[in-house]
């Protein structure tokens, strides 16, 4: 029996060779987009983070470390009880997701089927949702512009489907995820928070999502990625913050960004030499 290595196996699954599983684009960080200091919510104890334009920053940790909860606080979903958040140099305190969206934050949630898309709605209706007000006149939707907009996004993100009127539930996980990313990209956000963006999608689509993230990075957006897939996190991110029991334990960058350091921080041990 013939044995296959990982690369061959992937090639067999997606029908083409995926040259580099984790494509990396050189970071060219710009101004600080978001700075959060000592954020506390009812599920986050003490978390701080700084994100700059044009970089992909990871947020790692074990299950239940408070990563999603921290992201929810940054995106205006959960109430911040104490601490400070500065977005593009301005002190902010979001009352609801709408506040964060208007400032330029997009949040791609972890649970795609229950929080990312309206499954029974069409691709067009889903994609148009966060940007409805951009294609209206006196409250009326410009349907022609909506269809053009949807067609453009489908092409830009290489979503594979038969019609934009198709229900989202009939698409593959990877294509559903692209629709979620597309609807937020349409808002031209300065910060994109991606919570487990590649969970439950095939290897080929994963690679497309990475390419998309790198493109957004090159465009000068800040990206915060939460992932439980450690090789992915180490492979894609320029820096990684690690959380443990509701606290950010530290930041890994360059030489220090490796598996053993990650695990030390994720399990609550400190790295004395990181300072």
Partner 1 sequence: MDWVRKYRLGPLIGFVILFIVLSILSSQFLTFDNLRNVALQTTVNALLSVGMTFVILTSGIDLSVGSTLALSSAIAAQLMVSHVNVALACIVGVVIGGLAGALNGLLVSYGNLAPFIVTLGTQQLFRGLTEVYTQGMPIYNLPTSFTDFGTGTVLGIPIPVILAAIMFIAGWIVLRKTVIGRKIYALGGNLKVAHLAGIKVKRYLVWVYVACGVLAALGGLVLTARLGSAESTAGTGYELNAITAVVLGGTSLLGGEGSVIGTLIGALILGVIDDGLNLLNVNSFWQDAVTGLIILIAILLDRKKSR
Q: Between residue 61 and residue 80, which ones bind partner 1 under the rule CB under 8 A? A: 77
Q: Is 35 exposed, middle or buried (0-12, 13-18, 19+ CB in 10 A)?
A: middle
| 8 Å CB contact between 265 and 84 | no
Sheet containing 191-195, strands listed edge to edge, beginning at the edge strand earlier in sequence: 105-108, 191-195, 222-226, 55-61, 239-244, 247-253
Does 260 interact with partner 1 (rule: CB under 8 A)? no
Please tell me whether residue 128 binds partner 1 under the rule CB under 8 A: yes
Q: Is 109 in the site for partner 1 (CB under 8 A)?
A: yes
Q: Which is nearer to partner 1, 28 or 142 (CB)?
A: 142
- Closest separation in Å from C-beta 117 to partner 1: 7
| Residue carrying the six token digits 């699954």 | 13
SS3 call for 184: helix
Query: For partner 1, which residue of 10, 36, 49, 117 counts as binding (CB under 8 A)?
Result: 117
Q: Please say which residue, 15 or 139, places its beta carbon nearer to partner 1.
A: 139
User: Does position 118 bind partner 1 by CB under 8 A?
Assistant: yes
Residue (21 or 147) nearer to partner 1, CB: 147
Closest to 171 measured CA to CA, from 132, 117, 129, 106 = 117
> Does residue 102 contact residue 96 with C-beta atoms inside 8 Å?
no
- Rounded Cα distance, 91 and 183, in Å: 26
Q: Decide whether 119 or 271 has the Cβ nearer to partner 1.
A: 119
Number of residues binding to partner 1, judged by CB under 8 A? 27
Contacting residues toward partner 1, per CB under 8 A: 77, 96-98, 101-102, 107, 109, 114-121, 125, 128-130, 132-133, 136, 139-141, 183
């Amino acid at each position: 029996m013939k044995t296959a290595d990982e690369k061959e196996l992937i090639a067999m699954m997606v029908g083409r060779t995926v040259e580099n599983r984790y494509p990396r684009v050189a970071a060219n960080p710009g101004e600080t987009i978001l700075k959060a200091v000592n954020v506390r919510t009812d599920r986050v104890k003490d978390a701080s983070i700084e994100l700059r334009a044009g970089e992909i920053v990871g947020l790692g940790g074990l299950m239940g470390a408070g990563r999603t909860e921290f992201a929810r606080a940054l995106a205006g979903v959960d109430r911040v009880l104490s601490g400070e958040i500065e977005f593009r140099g301005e002190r902010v305190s979001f009352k609801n997701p709408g506040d964060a969206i208007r400032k330029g934050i997009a949040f791609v949630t972890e649970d795609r089927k229950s929080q990312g898309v309206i499954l029974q709605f069409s691709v067009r209706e889903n994609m148009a949702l966060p940007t409805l007000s951009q294609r209206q006149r006196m409250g009326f939707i410009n349907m022609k512009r909506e269809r053009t907009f949807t067609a453009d996004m489908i092409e830009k993100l290489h979503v594979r489907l038969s019609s934009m009127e198709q229900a989202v539930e009939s698409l593959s996980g990877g294509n559903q995820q692209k629709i979620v990313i597309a609807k937020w990209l349409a808002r031209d956000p300065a910060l994109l928070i991606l919570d487990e963006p590649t969970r439950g999608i095939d290897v080929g689509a994963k690679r497309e999502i990475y390419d998309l993230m790198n493109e957004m990075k090159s465009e000068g957006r800040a990206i915060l990625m939460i992932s439980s897939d450690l090789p992915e996190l180490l492979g894609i991110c320029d820096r990684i913050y690690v959380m443990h029991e509701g606290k950010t334990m530290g930041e890994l960058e360059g030489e220090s960004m490796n598996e053993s350091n990650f695990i030390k921080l994720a399990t609550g041990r400190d790295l004395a030499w990181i300072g």
